[in-house]
Structure 1
Amino acid sequence: MNDTPVPAPQSRAREVWLLAATFLVAVAGLIYELIAATLSSYLLGDSIRQFSLVIGIFLSSMGVGAWLSRFVAQPLSGFIWAQILLGVVGGFMAPVLFLHYAALGTVAAPLYTMLIAIGVLSGMEIPLIARAMEAVGAFENRFENVLSVDYVGALVASVAFPLFVIPQLGLMSASLAFGVLNLMVAGLSIWLFREHVTKAIVTVWAVALIGALYGLMQSERLVSITETQMFEDDVILTEATPYQQITVTRFRDRTRLFLNHSIQFDSLDEHRYHEPLVHPVMSHAPRRANVLILGGGDGMAVREVLRYSDVETVTLVDLDPRVTEIFRNHPDLSKLNNHALSDPRVTVTNADAWLFVETSTGSYDVVIVDLPDPKTVALSKLYTRQFYGLLMERMTAQGIMVTQAGSPFFARQAFWSVAATLESTRNPGAPGQGLDVVGYHSYVPSFGEWGFVLAGPQLPVDRAPELPEGLRYFTPEVWQSAQVFGADMDKVEAEENTLQSHALVAYYLDGWDYWFR
C-alpha cells in the first residue's frame, strides 16, 4: 500500500472530506470523554474527582497518541485504522463498563484502560489527518485548518452532550451511536481512498460496523440486562437526564428510587426519614404559612408538610425537572406522596438551590433542606456558612430551618461539621452570635443511623411537639430520644464548612470510606 499524492481533480473533494472527518471525529472523541467522566461519577462517586481524573488521563493519552503517530508510515490507512478501533473501543465502552460493574461490582480498571486507548487513538487523529491532507495535495494551511475544525467539533460536542445526547440517547445508546459514527467515517474514507486500502481493512471494518449496529439495535436490551443485574428488584423506570441517572425499582408493594445508582428512598421505611425530617421543624415553628423545601423532588417531604392545615404555600426547589415530573404524573409513583405535587398550594421550581435562594424575593416561615449528601465540592457549597447565611435572609423573623446532615454514625465528623457550620452562621436576631442548633437522629433501615440539624435565631424546642394525626413513626417520645446520641455518635470537634475550606467533603468521604471501602 502506498499513500502517494493524488491527482488534482480528486484532491479538493478529498481535502473537504478530511476536514469534515476532523469535525466528526472531534465530536465523537469528546463525547467518549464525557461518557467516561459521567459513568465514573455515576459508578465511582465524587464527580469532581472523577471528572478531573478522566480529563487528565484522556489529555495525557492524547499526547502519547500524537507522539506515536510519527511511527505510522501510511497516514491515510493509519487514520482509517484509528477510526475502526475507536468505533469498537469507544462504541462498546458504556456496555462493557455497565456489564462489568453489574457482574463484579467494580469498574475502575476497565474504565481507565478503555479511556487510555480512546485517548491514544484520538491523539493520533490530528497528526494523521494533517499528513493525509498533504498526501492529497492540500499543502496550504493544512494544520491550522485541521486544528480549527477540531476545536469547533469539541464545542459542538460539549453543548450537545447535556442538551441532546444524554436526554435523547442515554449513555448506552450514545456510546454505541458514536461508535457507529467513527465506523461510518472509516467507511467513507475507505471508499474515497480505495486505491490505498487493503482487503484486510475492509473486512475488519465491515465486521466492526455490523457488530456496532447490532449493539445499537440491542441497546435497550443491554440496558435491561445490566439493570436487572445491578438491582435486586424489577426495574419499572430508568432514564438518564442531563443531571443524573434515574432508576425506580419495585418488588411486590415495595418501591425504591435510585439516583446515580445510590438509593434515595425505600417505600418500606421512607417514613422513618421523612417524618423526622419534617415534623420537628414544622411542629416547633411559631408560624408555618409559607414553607420552602430545597431538594426532595420525590414529593415525600411535601406530603408531610401538607399534613398541617395552616400551611398556605409550599415552594419546592429541585434541580432535575424529570424527577418532579415523574413523581407528579406517574400514576403509581404519585401515590407514594399522596399526589402532593399536584396540590394547588404547591409550586414546583426546577432550579439550582443556591441560585434560587440567592435571587428569591420570597420570605419563608420554615425551610427544609433535603439535598444530596455533600460528597463533592459542588454539593458541599450547599452546606456552607455562606449558604446558610443566605437562607437566614429568606426566613421570617421567627423562622426556623432543618437540614438532613448525613449519618452521625458512618460519617460522624461530617454530621457535627454541619452542626458547627450552622452554629457559626450569623444570627439575624442576635448580632455577633450564631444560630441556635439542635442535632438529632433516626434509624432508617435502608441507610442506617441518619442525622438532622434544626437551626434558627431562637429555637422553641423545650415544649413537646404537637403532631398531626396519621404518622407511622414519629411521636413526642421519639423526638426526645432522637436528641440523645450514643457515645459512638456524640459530638466531636469538627471544622465549620465554608466556601474556602470545604472541610465537609473530606469528613464525609473519609467516614464512608472507613466503613465501606
Structure 2
Amino acid sequence: MDNVTETSPKKDSAQWLLLTAVFIIATCGLIYELVAGTLASYVLGDSVTQFSTIIGVYLFSMGVGSYLSKYFNGNLLRWFIQIELLVGIIGGFSSAILFITFPLAASFRLILYAIVFITGVLVGLEIPLLMRLLQDRVSFKELVSRVFAVDYVGALLASLIFPLLLVPYLGLIRTSLFFGMLNIIVGWYLLYRFKGEVKRAALIKVMAIAFLLAEIAAFVWSDSIMKLSEQLQFSDKVVYATSSSYQRIVLTHSRKELKLFLNGNLQFSSADEYRYHEALVHPAMQASGSPKQVLVMGGGDGLAVREILKYPCVQHVTLVDLDAAMTKLFTSNPMLTSINKHSFSDGRVSIYNKDAFIWLRDNRKQFDCIIIDFPDPSNFSVGKLYTSAFYQLVKRALSPGGYAVIQSTSPYVAPSSFWCVSETLRSVGFTTVPYHNYVPSFGEWGYIMASMRQDYQVPDTFAIPVRYMSKPVMQQMLFFPEDMKPTAPVTVNRLNNQALVEYFEKEWSHYSDQ
C-alpha cells in the first residue's frame, strides 16, 4: 500500500499529523548536525572548518537519501516509521558515541563523518517519503509549499534553541538523546494512529519501545557517560566539567597541579601559570609608569587580574571576557579563587561578558595599560581579535604614554604567526617590543608589547611580589635565537584576509604531526 488510504483517520487530521512529523524531523535533523559540528569543534578545534565540512557532508548525504527514496516502494508508511526509529537511535546516541570514541579511536574523523553521513541519508529519505504519502491528499502546489515551509520553520527553531537553551542547560549528550527520543516518539505515534496501514506493527512497536527505553536510560546516565569520556581523554582526575554557550570547560586535578582545559586545549597549569602571567602582565605594567586604569581582554580566569592588582597605583580594572560561565566559575569555585587570589571579588574590578571587538568599538574610555589574553587564533571568530581593525580600536583606547601587550602564540612552533601579530600591530602605527619566555606546560611562548612610544627600557627592578620576573630574565626574553626569527616577510592580518589563521593552522598542524 503506497499511501495512507481513506480508511485512515480523517483526511485533514492525517495531513496535519504528517506535517507535524515534518516539523519535528526538520528540527531534529538540524540539531544532530549542530551537535556534530559543535562536538567536532570542541575536540578537533577550528570551528569554521569543522562546521563547514560537517554541513557539507550532511547536506550531501541528505541528497543521497533523497535520491535513494525512489527505490522505496510498497508500504511507504511502514518504511517511514522504521527510518524515523533509526534516525532516533543513531542521531540520539551520536554525541555519546563520539565523545567515547574520541580518546580511543585513531580514526575519529572517519567515525564522525560516518555518523553524520548515515544520519543525513536517513533524514534525506524521510521528506520524499512523506511527500509521497501526502500526494493524494493535497494538491502538488499546496504539498510543496506546506512541506518545505514547515521544514524551514523547524530548522529555524533548532538554530535558535540550540545555542541559547540546549547546550548551556542540557549539554551535547542530553541534547542529542532528547531529540532522538522525539524522533522515536513520532514514529511510535504514527504507528499507533495508522496501525491498520502498517504490516508487522507489533514487531516495530517492540523495537520503538526498546529504542526509547535505551535512550531514556542513557539520558539519565549522561553525566556518567561524559565523565567516562573525559576521564579517558585526560590523564588526571576530572574534578569539574561543564558546557557553556561557547566552549567545554574542564578542570583536572592531580597531587601536583590543577589544569584548565577549554575545548580540550590546555589553558593553564597551576604548577607554572605564574611564569606565563607574570611575563604577560608585568613588562607592560612597568613600562606604563603608574597605570591607574587597566583594561584586560580575555583572561576570564582572573590570573592576569591577580597580577595587576599587586600594583597599589591601580584604581580600576575593566575585564572583558565573552563567556560568563568562565568568569562565574573563577569567582565562585574555591579551588580556582585560591589560585587567582579572589581577584574578581576585588572592588576595583568590573567584569563585562561581551564580545571584545564590539565592546571596544563602543568604548570611549582610555586606559593606561591594556592586557590582551585571547585564545590562540585557531579560527576566524578569534582571528578577528588579532586584525588591524581590532588593533586600531586598541590604539584608540590606549593612553598616549601607555602600553598594550598581546599573547601571541609560540615563536618557536609558529614563527610566522608570531611575527604576523607584530607586523599587524606595526601596520596601525604601533611600535612593538616582541619577547618570549619558557613555560614548562607550553614550551616557548611569545608576547608583543605595543605603544606609541619609542623608548622602552627594561626596568631595574620589579617592585611588586614576583616569583619569576627580574631584570636579567626580561633582558633574556628580548633575545630571539635564529630559529625564532622570521624566515620570510609576513602578511598583515586584516578582516578580509585572516592571514594569521592560515599561518597558525599550517604551523601548528605541522608541529602536531611530527
Deviation at 1:4, TM superposition (A): 4.8
Give yes or no for contact 1:284–1:465 (8 Å, CA) kept in 2: no
Matching residue of 1:219: 222
Give yes or no for contact 1:43–1:107 (8 Å, CA) kept in 2: no
Matching residue of 1:411: 414
Residue 20 (structure 1) aligned with residue 20 (structure 2): yes
Give yes or no for contact 1:167–1:241 (8 Å, CA) kept in 2: yes
Deviation at 1:180, TM superposition (A): 0.9
Code of the aligned partner of 1:421: T
Give the match's secondary structure for 1:491. coil
* 1:322-337 pair list within 5 angstroms: 322-337=325-340
Give yes or no for contact 1:289–1:310 (8 Å, CA) kept in 2: yes
Matching residue of 1:446: 441
Give the match's secondary structure for 2:483. coil
Deviation at 1:461, TM superposition (A): 2.1
Deviation at 1:2, TM superposition (A): 6.1
Aligned sequence identity (%): 39
Residue 504 (structure 1) aligned with residue 500 (structure 2): yes
Give yes or no for contact 1:66–1:124 (8 Å, CA) kept in 2: yes
| Cα distance between partner residues in 1 of 2:338 and 2:378 | 31
User: Which of residues 395, 401, 414 in structure 1 aligns to 2:398?
Assistant: 395
Unaligned runs of 5+ in 2: none
Give the match's secondary structure for 2:294. strand
Between 194-203 and 366-375, the greater mean CA deviation after superposition:
194-203
Give yes or no for contact 2:33–2:55 (8 Å, CA) kept in 1: yes
Residue 475 (structure 1) aligned with residue 470 (structure 2): yes
Give yes or no for contact 1:36–1:111 (8 Å, CA) kept in 2: yes
Matching residue of 2:247: 244
Give yes or no for contact 1:101–1:107 (8 Å, CA) kept in 2: yes
Matching residue of 1:148: 149
Matching residue of 1:364: 367
> TM-score by structure 2 length?
0.96
Matching residue of 1:125: 126
| Cα distance between partner residues in 2 of 1:304 and 1:245 | 26
Give yes or no for contact 1:436–1:458 (8 Å, CA) kept in 2: yes
Code of the aligned partner of 1:350: N
* Residues 363-422 of structure 1, C-alpha deviations (whole Å, 9 max, x = no match): 111011100101112211111111111110111111210000000011111101111111
Deviation at 1:130, TM superposition (A): 1.4
Deviation at 1:468, TM superposition (A): 3.4
Mark the CA change 1:190 to 1:485 in structure 2 (over 3 Å): closer, same or farther. Answer: same
| Cα distance between partner residues in 1 of 2:184 and 2:340 | 47
Give yes or no for contact 1:287–1:399 (8 Å, CA) kept in 2: no
| Cα distance between partner residues in 1 of 2:189 and 2:486 | 66
Code of the aligned partner of 2:423: A
Give yes or no for contact 1:249–1:255 (8 Å, CA) kept in 2: yes
| Cα distance between partner residues in 2 of 1:9 and 1:304 | 71
Give the match's secondary structure for 1:53. helix
Give yes or no for contact 2:401–2:453 (8 Å, CA) kept in 1: yes
Between 140-149 and 26-35, the greater mean CA deviation after superposition:
140-149
User: Which of residues 465, 481, 486 in structure 1 aligns to 2:481?
Assistant: 486
| Cα distance between partner residues in 2 of 1:376 and 1:8 | 53
Deviation at 1:503, TM superposition (A): 1.3
Code of the aligned partner of 2:386: Y
CA RMSD of aligned residues (A): 1.5
* Residues 187-218 of structure 1, C-alpha deviations (whole Å, 9 max, x = no match): 10110111122133223222222222221122
Residue 277 (structure 1) aligned with residue 290 (structure 2): no
Matching residue of 1:456: 451
Deviation at 1:129, TM superposition (A): 1.2
Give yes or no for contact 1:255–1:266 (8 Å, CA) kept in 2: yes
Deviation at 1:107, TM superposition (A): 2.0
Give the match's secondary structure for 2:444. strand
Deviation at 1:459, TM superposition (A): 4.4
Give yes or no for contact 2:458–2:474 (8 Å, CA) kept in 1: no
Give the match's secondary structure for 2:506. helix
Q: Which runs of 4+ in 1 moved over 3 A?
A: 1-4, 137-140
Deviation at 1:465, TM superposition (A): 4.9
Unaligned runs of 5+ in 1: 427-434
| Cα distance between partner residues in 1 of 2:274 and 2:449 | 18
Between 230-239 and 28-37, the greater mean CA deviation after superposition:
230-239
Matching residue of 1:50: 50
Deviation at 1:9, TM superposition (A): 5.1
* Residues 121-145 of structure 1, C-alpha deviations (whole Å, 9 max, x = no match): 111121111122236x344712321
Give yes or no for contact 2:3–2:132 (8 Å, CA) kept in 1: no
Between 63-72 and 139-148, the greater mean CA deviation after superposition:
139-148
Give yes or no for contact 1:88–1:212 (8 Å, CA) kept in 2: yes
Give the match's secondary structure for 2:135. helix
| Cα distance between partner residues in 2 of 1:460 and 1:233 | 46
Matching residue of 1:76: 77
| Cα distance between partner residues in 1 of 2:461 and 2:154 | 61
Deviation at 1:232, TM superposition (A): 1.3
| Cα distance between partner residues in 1 of 2:318 and 2:361 | 15
Matching residue of 2:260: 257
Give the match's secondary structure for 2:305. helix
> TM-score by structure 1 length?
0.95
Give yes or no for contact 2:459–2:471 (8 Å, CA) kept in 1: yes
* Residues 431-477 of structure 1, C-alpha deviations (whole Å, 9 max, x = no match): xxxx2111110111111100000110014422425423321111111
